[in-house]
C-alpha cells in the first residue's frame, strides 16, 4: 500500500498495519490544513492554562479525529483540544494537532502534528509530521523507524565529550537542583543546541545528534516521538529513567551508551 501527501513527501507503507496507514492519512490531512493557515490569517484564543489555540489547531484535530474514528470507532481518543473519550478503551490515540502553537502563531516553522497509538499502556506506533520541513517520520513496534521512507538509526557515539546534545523546555529543571547537573552535561558536551519541539527528536533518530533533554512536556508532545526514537535504536525515558506514560513530564532520550551516562547525572531532580 502506498500513500502520498498532496503537498508533502511520498512514501511507501507496504509493511504497515491499518492503524499506521490511518495515522499517516490523518497526519497528511492535518498538514494540508496547517500549511494553508501558516502564513495566512486565523483567529487565536487563549485556553484556561493561558496557552494559545488557533483555528488550525481545532480543524486539524477534527480532521485527525474523524479519520481515525471512522476506521476505529471503538478506540479511545485523547486530543490536545478535545480531551479524552472512552477511558476504558483497549486502544487510545494520543494526538497533538499542532505541537508548537506558540511558534505557529509567530510563524516559526518548528511546529508539527503528533499522532500515537497506545495499547494497554504501551505506545505501539507513532507519526510525527514536521509540516514546513516536509518531514514525515513514523514507527511501529518491532518494524523500525522511518523518515520520508528512509530507515532511521541513532548514532553510536559513546563519549560525552564527542556528543551533540539538544535541550528544550527547561524551566522546571532550571528551578531545581538539577540545573547544576545539567551544567555538567553542557560543559562536557562537544556541541549544545536547542532545536526544540519535534525537530531534535528527528535529528536524534537519524543519528545527527546524540541526546535530547527536556522538562515541562506532556505525553501528547512526546508519545509518537518516543517510539520513533526507540525503534531507531535509542532509549527514551523521563529524567528518572521511567518509560513514557500518560503522566510523563520530562525527557531524556539518547543512544543507549549516552543515555546511561546522562541518566546517572540527571536522575532524581525533576519529577
pTM: 0.92
- Grid cell 508533502 is found at 8
Higher-confidence position of 153 and 44: 153
- Give the model confidence (pLDDT) of 131-186 as tens digits: 999 999 999 999 999 999 999 999 999 999 999 999 999 999 999 999 999 999 99
Residue 115 Cα distances to 118, 127, 165, angstroms? 10, 5, 25
**Bridge partners of 168?**
214
178-188 vs 256-266: helix crossing angle, rounded to 10: 140
CA–CA gap between residue 227 and residue 128 (Å, rounded)? 10
Handedness of CA 240, 244, 248, 249 (dihedral sign): positive
Q: Could you tell me how many residues make up the chain?
A: 271
Task: Locate 212 and state its grid cell.
Answer: 535530547
Q: Which pLDDT score, from 0 to 100, does residue 13 have? A: 59
pLDDT tier for residue 2 given thresholds of 50, 70 and 90? very low
CA–CA gap between residue 3 and residue 127 (Å, rounded)? 14
* Predicted confidence (pLDDT) at residue 232 exceeds the cutoff of 80: yes
Q: Which pLDDT score, from 0 to 100, does residue 44 have? A: 75
| DSSP H/E element including 192 | strand 191-193
Residue 37 Cα distances to 52, 144, 184, 203, angstroms? 15, 33, 42, 26
Percent above pLDDT 70 for the chain = 93
- Give the model confidence (pLDDT) of 64-98 as tens digits: 999 999 999 999 999 999 899 988 899 999 999 99
CA–CA gap between residue 7 and residue 270 (Å, rounded)? 40
Q: Which pLDDT score, from 0 to 100, does residue 92 have? A: 98
* CB-side neighbour CA atoms (13 Å) of 271: 1
Domains and CATH numbers, the chain: 2-151 (3.30.540.10), 160-264 (3.40.190.80)
Q: Which pLDDT score, from 0 to 100, does residue 16 have? A: 85
**Which range, 33-47, 81-95, 248-262, has the best average confidence (pLDDT)?**
248-262
Amino acid at each position: 500500500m502506498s500513500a502520498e501527501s498532496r503537498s508533502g513527501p511520498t512514501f511507501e507503507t507496504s509493511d504497515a498495519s491499518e492503524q499506521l496507514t490511518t495515522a499517516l492519512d490523518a497526519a497528511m490531512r492535518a498538514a494540508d490544513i496547517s500549511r494553508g493557515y501558516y502564513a495566512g490569517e486565523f483567529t487565536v484564543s487563549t485556553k484556561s492554562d493561558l496557552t494559545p489555540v488557533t483555528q488550525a489547531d481545532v480543524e486539524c484535530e477534527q480532521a485527525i479525529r474523524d479519520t481515525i474514528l471512522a476506521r476505529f470507532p471503538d478506540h479511545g481518543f485523547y486530543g490536545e483540544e478535545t480531551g479524552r473519550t472512552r477511558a476504558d478503551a483497549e486502544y487510545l490515540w494520543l494526538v497533538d494537532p499542532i505541537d508548537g502553537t506558540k511558534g505557529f502563531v509567530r510563524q516559526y516553522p518548528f511546529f508539527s502534528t503528533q499522532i500515537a497509538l497506545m495499547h494497554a499502556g504501551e505506545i505501539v506506533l507513532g507519526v510525527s509530521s514536521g509540516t514546513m520541513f516536509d518531514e514525515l517520520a513514523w514507527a511501529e513496534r518491532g518494524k523500525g523507524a522511518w523518515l520520508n521512507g528512509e530507515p532511521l538509526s541513532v548514532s553510536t557515539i559513546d563519549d560525552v565529550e564527542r556528543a551533540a546534545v539538544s535541550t528544550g523546555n527547561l524551566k522546571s529543571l532550571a528551578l531545581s537542583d538539577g540545573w547544576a547537573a545539567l551544567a555538567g552535561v553542557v560543559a562536557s558536551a562537544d556541541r549544545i543546541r536547542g532545536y526544540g519541539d519535534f525537530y531534535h527528536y528527528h535529528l536524534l533518530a537519524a543519528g545527527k545528534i546524540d541526546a535530547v533533554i527536556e522538562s515541562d512536556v506532556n505525553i501528547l508532545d512526546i508519545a509518537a516521538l518516543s517510539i520513533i526514537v526507540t525503534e531507531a535504536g535509542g532509549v527514551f525515558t523521563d529524567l528518572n529513567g521511567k518509560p513514557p506514560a500518560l503522566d510523563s513530564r520530562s525527557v531524556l532520550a539518547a543512544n543507549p551508551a549516552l543515555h546511561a551516562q546522562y541518566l546517572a547525572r540527571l536522575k532524581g531532580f525533576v519529577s
